[in-house]
Amino acid sequence: MPNNPRSYEEACRTFRWRIPDRYNLAFDVCDRQTMAGADGHRTALIVEAADGRIDRYTFHVLRLLSNRLANVLSAQGVTPGDRIALVLPAGIEAAIAVLAIPRMGAAAVPIPMDLGAEPLAWRLADSGARVAVVDPAALPALDEVRHLLPAIQMVLTPNGGGPGCIEMWAALEQASDSFAPLVTPSSHPAFVFYPPDGGGKPPGAVLPHRAMAGGLPAVEMSMGFFPQFGDVTWTPADWMTGEALFRAVLPAWHHGVPILARTGVFDPGEALDMMGRHGIRAAYLPPTDLALLTDAASQRPHAMPRALASGPEPLSADLHERVIRAFGIHANEAWGVLETGAIAANLAGLMELRPPSPGRAAPGLTVEAVDERGRPLKAGERGILAVSPNAPGSFLGYWGDQVTGPARRVNGWLLTGRLGHRDLDNYIWPEPLTQKETVAIIDGTRVRLEDVEATLTAHPDVAAAGVIERPEGELRAFVVPRGPAGAELADDLRRWITLRRGAREVPHRLEFMDALPLAVDGSVLRAELLAQPLRLDAPVAADRWRPRRK
């Protein structure tokens, strides 16, 4: 994009796509930073461990390490088009894996660390992954379902492992650091992304090498015409999601900008300290994390970043105002779904911010509301938001193309699956997602209550289970045990769900009942469960109701 255009209209008028037909993502974001006079010894990655240790890695080091991993995978028979699963936290292992797999023409299947064995097994089986690179913390979930995954030929584990695993760093030491990137078409598959939540059995969206470049206009605009001199960037988003990779990590490396990775649970107070220590000038934060960071910043001194970007869900007017009061700058937005990439954005100073609209179509793209036949509607008319044909950031389709997903091409338009409209000034207005009664939002993540109930019922000591979402945003489970029940069984059920579904799906409150209220068709009457008072004799002390002290 042009640097600091005078208006949004000028940015659109002067923009031109420059994505070559032959384009390898790893070469673009890594190797190119070490060639043709570029200083490959610039810092590309800063890793801060939970114990405070800080490691820095240059583009040259990332290239050599990813070359070694590509050679390790090639020696195991991985060929272009094969799928490699990644279950890794933010850090050096994730960085070299994300670069090595596209480098050799294979497709990475990133899977968030907090998913349990059941959603993990679905993603590995559906994608047909041949190799899995798994952090030791995720090995218990993998071991639980390993017998169901005959396609997995090798498991690489950094800094540890177990039976049937190969220690990743030991394998890298034996490999060559020379590997020529495959000259791939820009449309060659590079990633297979599944939704970050563990609900159901969703299809995997296949994104090509050009997808990151196709979303750059919206990302660069939302981050204040990124990059600017001296930028260091960071995101608390899980690196195993498309949002983190395509809105922060890969765009930063594309521009030769270092990115900070920090392990552990997101803590807004620690995040503010970390931003000051490392001079973070541009950051991408999902709305939930942005709200927490803003609340913490309003109560203490902190560093002032140059740009804050958020998305993909639109921000409320209240959160916009709180960000301005806390940081002295506006929070810009980049909007889009996984299948389209970032297709719309706003930028304070370049255009008026009109929350909850996330802005206008990014330069080079057209976003319209269309009807079911793909015909553009007039301004203000409600329809399905869609992006213009041949948008470079669009996905190639769903893996295996076995299901009808939310995003499909109709009359040349790629549908986002979101209802909304476009106004006369070309601002887009997505409508809020309507959640089913059986879907809860826990810490910003969708949780299907039926999945939690099924997992509880699968426990040998449970006869039936019902799960509801309390108004406080917590899960409350009611369990009918097969025998005696108490605190020991409650703790065992929590461990059972953590292993099979993930920590986010563990009910905050768990109570035992003699029988569940059922409808005529046998379904659980959730309204009656929701009306159940909190018990004084809940099996775990933390679950018991206590009167609020005055």
pLDDT for the residue 258? 98
Counting every residue, how long is the chain? 550
Q: Which pTM does this prediction carry? A: 0.92
| 87, containing H or E segment | strand 83-87
Specify the residue for token string 């060659």: 188
Tens place of pLDDT for every residue, the chain, 550 residues? 556 788 999 999 999 999 999 999 999 999 999 998 788 899 999 999 988 899 999 999 999 999 999 999 999 999 999 999 999 999 999 999 999 999 999 999 999 999 999 999 999 999 999 999 999 999 999 999 999 999 999 999 998 777 789 999 999 999 999 999 999 999 999 999 999 988 888 999 999 999 999 999 999 999 999 999 999 999 999 999 999 999 999 999 999 999 999 988 899 999 999 999 999 999 999 999 999 999 999 999 998 999 999 999 999 999 999 999 999 999 999 999 999 999 999 999 999 999 999 999 999 999 999 999 999 999 999 999 999 877 999 999 899 765 444 457 888 899 999 999 999 999 999 998 877 778 888 877 889 999 999 999 999 999 999 999 887 778 999 999 998 888 899 999 999 999 999 988 999 889 899 999 988 888 888 888 888 876 655 555 555 555 444 3
Q: Which domains does the chain have, with CATH numbers?
A: 21-209 (3.40.50.12780), 440-543 (3.30.300.30)
Contacts 24+ apart (CB under 8 A), 442-445: 442/469, 442/473, 442/474, 442/475, 442/504, 442/505, 443/288, 443/473, 443/504, 444/286, 444/287, 444/288, 445/196, 445/197, 445/504
Separation between Cα atoms, residue 455 and residue 161, nearest integer Å: 27
